[in-house]
Amino acid sequence: EADIYQTPRYLVIGTGKKITLECSQTMGHDKMYWYQQDPGMELHLIHYSYGVNSTEKGDLSSESTVSRIRTEHFPLTLESARPSHTSQYLCASREGRGEQFFGPGTRLTVL
């Protein structure tokens, strides 16, 4: 059973607001990931982390930022949201060579 959580599940906000999407896992996994999923379903890696104080940009450029101060927590922040940020955001974690587990996702709508 995967124990990876994302909050909120749905968020509707106005342009210019600062938001933080939360992701937590209780499995002690070292690697964590953020994906952006567009309406056409394709997944784009936007950030990843190999452990505490480690963050890297992914394959798709994103205006969001991330932090990894604790192993279990990998929040994503948008300083000033825009309609182009409207998307589904998926968090995932993995330990070593094991299975990658995904959270349920946050569906963000920026008006």
Partner 1 sequence: GNSVTQMEGPVTLSEEAFLTINCTYTATGYPSLFWYVQYPGEGLQLLLKATKADDKGSNKGFEATYRKETTSFHLEKGSVQVSDSAVYFCALIILQGAQKLVFGQGTRLTINP
Footprint of partner 1 (CB under 8 A): 2, 6, 31, 33, 40-43, 45, 48, 58-59, 90, 92, 97, 99-105
At closest approach, how far in Å is the CB of 14 from partner 1? 24
**Per DSSP, what are the bridge partners of residue 72?**
none
Cβ atoms within 10 Å of 50's Cβ, excluding its own: 12
At closest approach, how far in Å is the CB of 111 from partner 1? 21
At closest approach, how far in Å is the CB of 78 from partner 1? 20
CA distance 53 to 17: 26
Toward partner 1, which CB reaches closer, 17 or 100?
Answer: 100
CA angle (43, 85, 109) in 5-degree steps: 100
Toward partner 1, which CB reaches closer, 17 or 107?
Answer: 107
Closest CA to 66 of 10, 100, 22: 22
Toward partner 1, which CB reaches closer, 19 or 23?
Answer: 23
At closest approach, how far in Å is the CB of 79 from partner 1? 25
99 DSSP assignment: P
